[in-house]
Amino acid sequence: MITIKNLHASIDGKEILRGLNLTVNTGEVHAIMGPNGAGKSTLASVLAGRDAYEITAGEVIFEGTDLLSLSTEDRAREGLFLAFQYPVEIPGVSNVNFLRTAINEIRAYKGEESLSAKDFMSLVREKSALVELDSKLASRSVNEGFSGGEKKRNEIFQMAMLAPKLAILDETDSGLDIDALRIVANGVNQLKSPENAAIVITHYQRLLDYIVPDFVHVLYKGQIVKTGGKELALELEEKGYDWIKDAHPTV
Amino acid sequence: MANYTEENLAEELENQEYKFGFVTPIDSDTIPIGLSEDVIRLISNKKEEPLWLLEHRLHAYNVWKTMEEPNWAHVKYKKPDFQNIAYYSAPKQSKKYESWDDVDPEMKATMAKLGISMEEQQRLTGVAVDFVMDSVSVATSFKEKLGELGIIFCSFSEAVQNHPDLVRKYMGTVVPTSDNFYAALNNAVFTDGSFCYIPKGVRCPMELSTYFRINAGGTGQFERTLVVADEGSYVSYLEGCTAPQRDENQLHAAVVELIALDNAEIKYSTVQNWYPGDKNGLGGIFNFVTKRGICHTNSKISWTQVETGSAVTWKYPSCILKGDHSIGEFYSVAVTNNYQQADTGTKMIHLGKNTKSTIISKGISAGKSQNSYRGLVQIHKSAKNARNFSQCDSLLMSSECGAHTFPYIECKNSTAKIEHEATTSKIGEDQLFYCKQRGIGEEKAIGLIVNGYCKEVLNQLPMEFAVEAQKLLTISLEGSVG
Ligand SMILES: Nc1ncnc2c1ncn2[C@@H]1O[C@H](COP(=O)(O)OP(=O)(O)O)[C@@H](O)[C@H]1O
Ligand SMILES: [Mg+2]
C-alpha cells in the first residue's frame, strides 16, 4: 500500500522528520505512538501534501506511484485520506455540499460519472448512521459550531463517505469521551477491509483496545525507533516514553 | 439553487475570462464629444422631451458646473475629462421599435450572448426585462401582461412620454439634483433607464429586471431608474450590467430612486459585472452611482448587491426611513481583484419611530486591489426606538491587497439600539488544505469557501441571480490566492 523510505522533512528550516522508514501493506492497521512534538502530525501532513513542509530527502511509494510528486488533491483522489487532528471550519458551506463536491471531483478524476443527488443522499444516510452522526450535522456548515467530539465524528463520517484506500487518523481519539471513542472506533473497524489500510496516530493506548493494530510503531524525534505488536502499546502505557528517550538520546 | 449543482458551475466556468468583453458591430447614432448647454438641448430634442425636463436638465447642468469632483472616497483614478465623452449614443434602428420583431438581428444576437431572453413564450421563469444599450432602452418584455395589473414597466424615456405626471411627481424626490457631483451630472445628461410603477395593493407577479449594457466606445452611460411602489404593493427588481473590454476607462454614472409608499415593499438586487480592466489595471468602467430609497410608514426597502466588476466603484445604496415602523436592509458582496478599487457601503437614515435597519457587508479583496466599506447609520431625534445591526466582514486573498472599513454612527436619540460587528480574515491555508485533502481542486475550493463566506448575502438574491452571482464570484477570483 505505502512504503516510506528515509523521509526527511523540515519546516521553516527546522528538520522534523529525520530519516523515517515505514511500510504498510493492504489489510493492515498500524498504530503510531510517540511523545508530543515527535513529528506524528508532521508525518500525516507531509503524506497528505501540505505545502509548508520541505522534503529534503527520501521517497514515498503509494500504490506503485511516487506520492510526493502528486498534488494534494490528486493524493486524495488516489485514495489517501487524513482525519485531521484539528478539523477546520468552513462557514456557509454545508457538509453535504462539501462532500458532494469532493466525491464528484474524485469520480471525475477517475473518469466516472457524478453521483446522482438521490444516490448521494442515500449514501449520506447509510454512512452517517455508521458513526451515529446526527443527520442535522450533515446539513450544517462544515464543522462550524461543532463540539470537539462532533468534529472528530464528522472526520470519520467523511472517511466513510469517501472510502479511501489508506486512512491516516491523527489523534482522532483525543478529546473523546468513552462513548464517542467506541463509536469512532466502531466506524473505523466497519470500514476495514482486505483492500484498504489504516495508520492510526494516537497518544493513548486506550484507542487500541477498540481498534486492534497489527503493528505498533514508536515515533521519536522524527524517526521510527521501535516497532512491535499490540503489546508494545501496553508496554508504553505502563512505562511511558522515558525508556525510549533514554535508549535514543542522540537521535 | 436546488437544481444547480457544482457540475453545472464547473461547466460554466470553463470560459474563465471576462466573457462579456465583446463589441456588437452595430451602427450607432453618436453625438460629438463634449458637454455644453447645446449638447443638453440636443439630447433633450432627440428624446422629444417636454420643456420641463429640458429646464430640469439645464438647471442641473448649472448646479454641476459649480460643484467639484468628490475626493473623500478611498480610491485613486485619473479624473475623467468631461469634454472628452460623448453623451449620447444610440444603436441605429431602421424603424422605431414597436414589437420584438422589429429589433435588429445583431441586437437580438447580442442579447442572446448576454443570456437575456426577451421572447416571452420561451421563458421558463417569469422575468420581465428592459434592455438598455448605451443611451437607450432597446426592448421591454411582458409589458402587456403587467399592464393588465396596472403595473407600468418601461424605459424611462417612454415613461416621460406616456406617464409624465408620475415621473414629474417622483423624479428627484429621493436624490435631489444637487446631491453630489455625479448625481448632478446625471440629472443634466441622463439618457435612459427603467421606470416602474406598482399600483396600490398589487403584488408584482414576476421579477422585473433591467440589463444595462455599454457597447459604443468613447461614451459614458448615464442612466436613471425610478421605482415607485404604491401603498401596500410589492416588487422585486433586478439589475445586471456588462461592458466590452477596452483600454480606455468609460464612465457610468447612474441615479436610482426607490419610493416605497405606506406598507409597500421593494427588493432591489444588483449583479454588477462591468468590465473591471485587465490584469495590469488598464481600462475598465468607472462606476459612480447614487442609489437611494425612501420608506414611508411600515414599508420596507431591501438592497442586495454583488459587485464584481468595474475598475473603480463608488456606490452607497441607502435608505431614508421616514415612516414609522419602516425597515431598510443592505446586503452586499464586493469583490476586488488585480487593480480594482471599490468604495461601497450604505447610509441608513432613521427618521421615523421604531425604524429598523440591517447592514451585512462582505468584502473580498485579492491581487493588488483596494476594497473599502463605508457606512453611515444616522439616528435622528425623532427616531424613537430605532434599531440597527451592522456586520462588516473582510476577507483577504493576498498580502498585497487592502481592506478598509469606515463605519460612521450618528445617534441623537438615546432609545436607539445600535450593534456593530466587524471581522477581517485571510483566506485560510488551513481551509484550502482541508478541501484539497478531500480531493477538491484549488479553484473549486476557493469557490466553495468564498461562496460560503457570502452565503447570507447570496441567499437574499432571487434564484436566477444567485446562480449567476456564484459563478461570477468564482470567476473573479481565478488564480487569486497568494
Ligand atoms: N510551523 C512550524 N514551525 C516550526 N516548527 C514547527 C511548526 N509546526 C510544527 N513544528 C514543530 O515540529 C515538531 C513536531 O510537531 P508535530 O508533528 O505536530 O508533533 P506531534 O504531532 O508528534 O505532537 C514540534 O517540535 C513542533 O514544535
Ligand atoms: Mg500531533
pLDDT tens for B128-141 read 667 776 666 666 67
The helix/strand/coil state of A221 is: coil
Antiparallel, parallel or unpaired: β A141-142 and B127-133: unpaired
> How remote is the CA of residue A31 from the centroid of ligand 2, in Å?
14
ipTM above 0.90, yes or no: yes
pLDDT in tens, B43-71: 899 888 999 999 999 999 999 999 988 88
Q: Which residues contact B57 (CB under 8 A, 6 or more apart)?
A: B40, B43, B44, B187, B188, B189
Cell numbers representing residue A50 in the block: 501540505
Where in chain A are the domains?
A: 2-247
- A193-225 tens-digit pLDDT: 999 999 999 888 888 888 999 999 999 999 999
Of chain B residues 341-380, which have a CB less than 8 A from chain A? Answer: none
Coil, helix or strand at residue A80: strand
Q: What is the mean pLDDT of chain B?
A: 84
Nearest CA in chain B to A49: B437
- Residues of chain B with pLDDT > 70: what percent? 83
A160 C-alpha to ligand 2 centroid (Å) = 22
What was the pLDDT predicted at A11? 94
For residue B9, the distance in angstroms to the closest alpha carbon of chain A comes to 11
pLDDT at A14: 94
The predicted-structure confidence for A90-144, as pLDDT tens digits, reads as follows 998 999 999 999 999 999 999 999 888 889 989 999 998 888 888 787 788 999 9
Sequence length of chain B is: 482
Say whether B448 and A98 touch across the interface (CB within 8 A). yes
Q: Which residues contact B233 (CB under 8 A, 6 or more apart)?
A: B198, B199, B200, B201, B202, B203, B204, B261, B264, B265
Interatomic CA distance for residues A23 and B166, integer angstroms:
81
Class of domain A2-247: alpha beta
Backbone CA torsion sign across B6, B12, B14, B20: negative
Chain B positions touching A97 (Cβ under 8 A) are: 6, 448
Measure A170 CA to ligand 1 centroid, in angstroms.
Answer: 14
Of B458, B470, B70, B77, nearest in space to B281 by CA: B77
Question: Which contacts of B444-447 are long-range, i.e. CB under 8 A and separated by 24 or more positions?
Answer: B444/A101, B444/A105, B444/B6, B444/B10, B446/B397, B446/B474, B446/B477, B446/B480, B446/B481, B447/B9, B447/B13, B447/B473, B447/B474, B447/B477
Reported as a single tens digit per residue, the pLDDT across A38-97 is: 999 999 999 999 988 999 999 999 999 999 999 999 999 999 999 999 999 999 899 999
The CA-CA-CA angle for residues B270, B273, B275, to 5°, reads 150
* Residue-wise pLDDT tens digits, B134-169: 666 666 677 778 889 999 998 898 899 999 999 999
A51 touches chain B (CB under 8 A): yes
Question: Which positions in chain A touch B429 (Cβ < 8 Å)?
Answer: 51-52
- pTM recorded for the entire structure: 0.81
Q: Which amino acid is at B339?
A: Y
Q: Between A95-109 and A148-162, two packed helices, what is the crossing angle to 10 degrees?
A: 30
